[in-house]
C-alpha cells in the first residue's frame, strides 16, 4: 500500500494494527498477549490509531491534486487552472413598490424588512411620482438563500417615514444563494475544459456556463445549407437557464466561429475588437415544472425532519429551490426526468424501507413513466411541488 503506478492506496486502522501485531509476535513470540486489555495490546492500538490519521492526511494531500477528488480550499487552489473561481455567496435582489407623499424622495440605503426580520436595502434613490407611487431596486442586507422571500412579504419600514405610506414587493426576491458547493464547482470545472477551444458548441456552452447565475445551457448547431427546426442554415441556437442577457451574448460572440449566425428571440449588441457593433441572439430556456409524489414506508430510524429531507433530495436531483431557499442546478438542458433515479435518491434518507415515486408536469397527471424533456427545455421543481405521503 502507498503510492505506486496504480495511484495511492491508504492503510486503514485495521491494516496497521494487523501489521503491528504480526511484528510484535515476531519480536516477542507467538504467545505474547496482545489482547485489548493487555499493556502491549493497548500500545499497539494507540499507535495504530495515530498512524491511521497520518495515512488519512497523506491520502488527502494526494487527492488535492485532482479536481474530482479535492475538497474545500484545496479545490479552490485548482480553479486558477480553469481561469475561474468558486462562486461566492450572493444576496437576493428584489423590486420594491411604494406609495406615499407625491414627489417625495426615498433615499438610497433606506431599509425595509419582512415580518420575520429579513432586511433589504434600497440601492437607488426613488422619487415618488405626482400620484405618490414609485418603484426601486433593493438588495438583501445579508447574503444567502434566506433573502429569497416570497412576493408581498417586504411590507415593513425599518426606518419609518411619514412620507412613505406603503411598501411591498410585487414579485419574490431572487438570486440569493450560499457559496458554491464542492459538488457544483467540480461539475462546472469539468464542463469548463471545453471552453479553451473556439467555434464548437462545447466551447460556446462552456463559456456561457461561466456567466454568473447560469445554471444550464444547450447549444444546437445547424450545419446544413437549409433551415432545420426553425434555425437558419449555418447557425447556432443557445438555450440558457438564468444569467444576465448581455453577459450571455458576449460569451457567445467570444466563442462562436466567424460566419455562424446566432439564433433566438433575445437580441443583444456586442462590440468586436475594432469597436464595430455585432448582433447576437439566443433564447432563455423553457422551464418545465415537475410535480412529484413520493409514497414511503418508514421505520424507527426515519428522522423527525425526514419529509423535508426527502423533498430536498428530489429538488437536488431535478433542480430548483429547496426548503432552505438554496437553488440547485439539478437537471441539465434536455435531460429527461428518470423515475428510477428519483427513487434511488429517496433511499439516501435513513429510515426508509420502501418508496414509490410518481411524476408529472401537473399535479393531476402523475404517473410512473419517465418524463421526456426537449432540447430547449429544462426540468425544475421546488418543495411545494413535491408531496410525501
Q: CA 381, CA 319: separation in Å to the nearest integer?
A: 6
In this prediction, residue 192 carries a pLDDT of 66
In this prediction, residue 340 carries a pLDDT of 95
- CA angle 243/247/250 to nearest 5° reads 140
Half-sphere exposure of 375 (CA within 13 A, CB side): 7
The secondary structure of residue 228, as a DSSP letter, is B
- 256 CA to centre of own chain: 26
In this prediction, residue 23 carries a pLDDT of 94
- What would the grid cell of residue 63 be? 487527492
Partners of 189 in beta bridges? none
Using the structure block, give the residue that is written with the C-alpha cell 419517465.
370
The values of phi and psi at residue 83, to 5°, are 55, 40
- Please, what's the largest Cα pairwise distance for the chain? 99
Core vs surface per residue 330-344: b (16+ CB within 10 A) or e: bbbbbbebebeebee
Does residue 25 contact residue 57 with C-beta atoms inside 8 Å?
no
Partners of 289 in beta bridges? 380
In this prediction, residue 165 carries a pLDDT of 95
The CA-atom distances, in angstroms, between 264 and each of 66, 216, 238, 272 are 38, 16, 8, 20
In this prediction, residue 328 carries a pLDDT of 83
Residues in the chain where the model's pLDDT stays below 70: 191-197
Let me know how long the chain is. Answer: 389
Does residue 291 contact residue 342 with C-beta atoms inside 8 Å?
no
Amino acid at each position: 500500500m502507498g503510492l505506486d503506478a496504480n495511484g495511492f492506496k491508504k492503510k486503514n486502522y485495521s491494516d496497521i494494527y494487523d501489521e503491528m501485531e504480526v511484528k510484535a509476535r515476531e519480536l516477542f513470540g507467538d504467545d505474547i498477549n496482545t489482547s485489548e486489555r493487555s499493556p502491549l495490546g493497548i500500545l499497539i492500538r494507540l499507535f495504530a490509531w495515530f498512524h491511521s490519521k497520518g495515512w488519512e492526511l497523506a491520502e488527502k494531500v494526494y487527492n488535492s491534486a485532482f479536481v474530482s477528488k479535492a475538497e474545500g480550499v484545496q479545490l479552490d487552489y485548482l480553479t486558477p487552472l480553469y481561469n475561474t473561481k468558486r462562486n461566492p455567496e450572493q444576496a437576493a435582489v428584489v423590486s420594491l413598490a411604494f406609495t406615499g407623499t407625491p414627489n417625495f424622495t426615498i433615499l438610497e440605503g433606506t431599509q425595509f424588512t419582512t415580518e420575520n426580520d429579513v432586511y433589504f436595502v434600497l440601492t437607488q434613490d426613488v422619487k415618488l411620482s405626482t400620484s405618490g407611487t414609485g418603484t426601486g431596486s433593493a438588495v438583501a442586507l445579508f447574503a444567502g438563500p434566506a433573502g429569497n422571500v416570497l412576493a408581498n412579504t417586504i411590507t415593513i419600514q425599518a426606518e419609518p417615514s411619514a412620507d412613505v405610506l406603503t411598501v411591498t414587493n410585487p414579485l419574490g426576491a431572487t438570486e440569493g444563494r450560499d457559496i458554491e458547493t464542492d459538488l457544483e464547482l467540480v461539475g462546472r470545472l469539468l464542463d469548463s475544459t471545453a471552453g479553451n477551444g473556439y467555434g464548437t458548441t462545447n466551447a460556446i456552452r462552456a463559456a456561457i456556463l461561466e456567466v454568473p447565475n447560469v445554471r444550464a445551457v444547450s447549444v444546437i448547431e445547424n450545419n446544413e445549407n437549409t433551415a432545420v427546426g426553425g434555425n437558419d442554415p449555418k447557425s447556432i441556437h443557445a438555450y440558457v437557464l438564468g444569467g444576465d442577457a448581455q453577459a450571455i451574448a458576449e460569451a457567445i460572440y467570444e466563442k462562436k466561429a466567424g460566419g455562424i449566425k446566432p439564433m433566438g428571440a433575445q437580441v443583444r449588441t456586442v462590440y468586436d475588437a475594432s469597436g464595430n457593433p455585432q448582433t447576437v441572439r439566443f433564447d432563455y430556456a423553457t422551464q418545465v415544472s415537475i410535480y412529484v409524489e413520493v409514497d414511503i414506508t418508514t421505520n424507527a430510524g426515519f428522522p423527525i425532519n425526514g419529509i423535508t429531507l426527502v423533498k430536498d433530495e428530489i429538488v437536488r436531483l431535478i433542480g430548483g429551490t429547496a426548503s432552505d431557499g438554496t437553488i440547485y442546478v439539478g437537471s441539465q438542458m434536455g435531460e429527461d426526468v428518470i423515475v428510477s433515479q428519483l427513487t434511488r435518491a429517496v433511499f439516501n434518507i435513513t429510515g426508509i424501507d420502501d418508496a414509490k415515486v410518481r411524476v408529472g408536469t401537473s399535479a393531476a397527471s402523475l404517473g410512473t413513466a419517465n418524463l421526456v424533456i426537449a432540447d430547449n427545455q429544462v426540468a425544475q421543481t421546488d418543495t411545494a411541488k413535491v408531496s410525501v405521503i
